Amino acid sequence: MLPLLSIATFLPILGGLVLMALPDRSARVTHGVSIGVTGLTFLITLAIWARGIVPGGFAQIEEISWIPAIGAAYRLGLDGLSLPLVLLTSLLFLLSAIYSARVTERAATYVVLMLMLETASLGTFMALDGLLFYIFFEVSLVGMYFMIAGWGYEDRQRAALMFFLYTLLGSLPLLLAILGLYLSSGSFDMRVWIDAPPLTGIAAMLALIAMLFTFAVKIPAFPVHTWLPAAHVQAPTAGSVILAGVMLKFGTYGLIRFALQMTPEAFTRAGVVILVFGVVSAIYGAFAALAQSDLKKMIAYTSVNHMGYVVMGVAVAALATDPAMRVVALDGATLQMISHGIVTGALFFLVGMLQDRAHVRDMGDFGGLLGQVPWLGWAFILSAFASLGLPGLAHFPAEFQVFLATLNAQPWAVVAILAIVVTAGLYLRSVAAVFLGELNQKWAAMPDLDRREMLVIVPLLILTILIGVAPAWLLNMIHTTMASLSF
């Protein structure tokens, strides 16, 4: 049987190496390779989905001895937590490759970095060896750092350095936790750490604190979120999409896979504190977004808000006494990861398309654009309504499950629902300022979405509606794993 997980993981970086070896690295050839490689990778992940997963464990395991002396191995596998994230990752990289066909400056280097980043991202979600996970986790920083520094906007160097230092230093505690798990178990096999958590007592709590710090930076959660707005504002559009849609999920994925599954007793003891940070992040992110006039910065802060709901869901899963509510919380938190990647990815694409036309992002510079660019305008409105949690769109079934479980387990924490009201206000304000009212004549010649841009945005809009109206196809995949977790 073909090792599809390995093929999907390493095909992008292999495509990058082939590109570097080509005598013709013109922008046209470069982007043709990029779209071809990411498209094939997406098809392979669909084939992985078709193979399926199994309840209560990992499926499609690929394992080769790597460093026998320390028990490290090349191990890949999937379950209902990682498979949806793999599908989301391959889709967003394909759409980013299509969108990035406009990049002509050092196009080959840009594409190679993006393909390397795709390999690191897929590897992070599929790795089942602690050491291998950490390597993929760290390599992703390199690709995003150079994408921001090389192809970002006016203050890109500072933003890239801030991103790199925050996330690099933030990940060092995770390395210590991984070493602690290894020394206690004699293996780097993450399945061993999950099936029989090797740390107890104070050692488990110290490992949990280390993990929480690392993943809080990556999520990012309040108060270690300050790198995110600068990174998003200065990153190129595809970089913002990948950062929000994929890389922020490293933190929430790690929160479940490592913190909850590998130190379950310590996580439960710290559950209320973690829940507080989730609530604060959700409310703070909404109010911080409300204070912004820069569209990219506004959407960046809404990521802090939406990731706060994920943290709430995971914390509630540990605190709930009703096993059914634990599953509801985890189902909702995982679905929120996917819906956030789709909806926020669409919003960053649309703001990037607007900036490509106007070269500004401030809401006050626009007005009345809906009549001038109706496709762009209605796509933004649909995505904005999804982001504010409108029923029938992607965020609603995720957030509903998180709040339902929260109300059952920790009723006080539903104060975070205030953030939904604030988010509704900020998106309605942005829609009114940019698309409604009288047209600013400065934009009277602004063109609407072209065919390539439609190809990028329409799949995300379809998924936004599909998940909102009929989420069962995705929730069934997630539920297969979440219903069998024991902690």
Residue 452, number of CB atoms within 10 A of its CB = 12
- Minimum mean pLDDT among 10-19, 140-149, 207-216, 223-232: which range? 223-232
Highest mean pLDDT: which of 105-114, 118-127, 151-160? 118-127
Rounded to a whole number of angstroms, the distance between the first and last alpha carbons of the chain is 34
- What CA–CA distance (Å, rounded) separates 166 from 404? 34
Nearest Cα to Cα of residue 453 among 28, 98, 34, 27: 98
- What CA–CA distance (Å, rounded) separates 361 from 434? 10
pLDDT tens, residue by residue, 331-343: 999 999 999 999 9
| Coarse DSSP helix, strand, coil percentages of the chain, rounded to the nearest 5 percent | 75, 5, 20
Residue 486 has pLDDT above 70, yes or no: no
Three-state secondary structure of 394-449? CHHHHHHHHHHHHHHHCHHHHHHHHHHHHHHHHHHHHHHHHHCCCCCHHHCCCCCC
Could you give the C-alpha distances from 276 to 56, 77, 252, in angstroms and in order?
30, 33, 16
- What CA–CA distance (Å, rounded) separates 243 from 167? 12
- Looking at residue 487, what is its pLDDT? 63
Percent of all residues in the chain with a pLDDT value above 90, rounded to a whole number: 70
Kindly state the tokens that stand for 215: 């993943």
Q: How confident is the model at residue 22 (pLDDT cuts 50, 70, 90)?
A: confident
- What CA–CA distance (Å, rounded) separates 115 from 107? 12
- Looking at residue 16, what is its pLDDT? 92
pLDDT tens, residue by residue, 381-435: 999 999 999 999 999 999 999 999 999 999 998 899 999 999 999 999 999 999 9
Is residue 199 within 8 A of residue 180, CB to CB? The reply is yes
Residue 193 has pLDDT above 80, yes or no: yes
Of 56 and 42, more confident? 42
Q: How confident is the model at residue 156 (pLDDT cuts 50, 70, 90)?
A: confident
Question: Mean pLDDT across the stretch 226-231?
Answer: 81
Question: Mean pLDDT across the stretch 433-455?
Answer: 89
Question: Mean pLDDT across the stretch 454-464?
Answer: 96
Is residue 90 within 8 A of residue 115, CB to CB? The reply is no
Q: What DSSP designation does 322 have?
A: S
| Mean of the per-residue pLDDT values of the chain | 92
Of 106 and 24, more confident? 106
